[in-house]
Chains A and B, each alone.
Chain A
Amino acid sequence: MDDPRERMNAEEVLEKKDKIFEDVLNMLVDRLNISPTDIRMDTDVKEELMFDSLELYELVVDIEEAYDIRLPDEDLDRIVLVKDVVELIYTLSTDS
């Protein structure tokens, strides 16, 4: 029933997403000058983190360079929570 390969795969996915969260967290802390404890997976990016557009695009360019991905504006529009950022990076970096 419980396929160990599937379990391993799910663990790898979680681990990769944790790593992405950690990267995003570090970038946000550097950029916004806030405490890491203020950022959770369910933090609302627009309401709670208060980016101006320059800070947002600086972060976008940093993420694109770190993960060698492209983050189109249409995808950025759909982001609400930090979790969405992590999912988007995961999906784009896994596809490429």
Chain B
Amino acid sequence: MTEREMEMADCLVRIFENVLITEEMSLQKGYFPDLSLAEMHALDAIGPYEARTMSETAAILGITTGTLTVSIDRLVRKGFVERKRDEKDRRIVRISLTRSGKVACRMHGKYHRVLAKRALDPCNEEEAELLLRMVHDVDNFLAAQAKKYNERESLRKTAKEVSEERRRRNDNG
């Protein structure tokens, strides 16, 4: 690895770690210490406006509806999310944010905005375009890598879940 490559690799890993740490800390030390980062991202996936179904939200987060249910149960108990049955089809349960959930979601959105502004503000128009294009390249590369792994087996699933799913698939022919 050249010195430049090493510097780049260090920076990328540090950015990833520090975004997670500062996000987590801004919640813990801020107005919402009872929210974990994963829960905050669940609120973000539901969004402050329309009610969503569990499967829609799970798809946005890339997790199973089973995993989401546990998280939503907790968020309902903490008063950030509410469940309602669909007026037309009572079988469908929709989830939406309570007032506290909306406020938390908007404030967390501001954290992301401040981060982006801080990165872009020192740039002129041309530099901002270039920076954005380069960050997109890194993002696309990583997304393609992640997709490759996901196609093989879901990384988020435990070995037990994977073997159970495989068995189910085999049972179904």
Contacts and interface: CB of A to CB of B under 8 A. Distances in A.
Interface residues of A, number: 11
A64 B97 CA distance: 13
B113 interface: yes
A53 B107 contact: yes
Interface in B55-93: none
A70 B106 CA distance: 12
A8 interface: no
B10 to A, nearest CB: 32
Interface string A50-68: 0001100110111011000
B49 A54 contact: no
Interface string A69-87: 0100100000000000000
Interface string B111-154: 00100000000000000000000000000000000000000000
A57 B49 contact: no
A61 B109 contact: no
A61 B48 contact: yes
A30 B103 CA distance: 17
Nearest to A54: B31
B109 A73 contact: yes
A61 B49 contact: no
Nearest to A60: B106
Contacts of A53: 107, 110
A58 B109 contact: no
Interface of A: 53-54, 57-58, 60-62, 64-65, 70, 73
The 10 closest A-B pairs by CB, nearest first: A57-B106, A61-B102, A57-B103, A54-B31, A57-B107, A61-B103, A58-B103, A61-B99, A73-B113, A53-B107
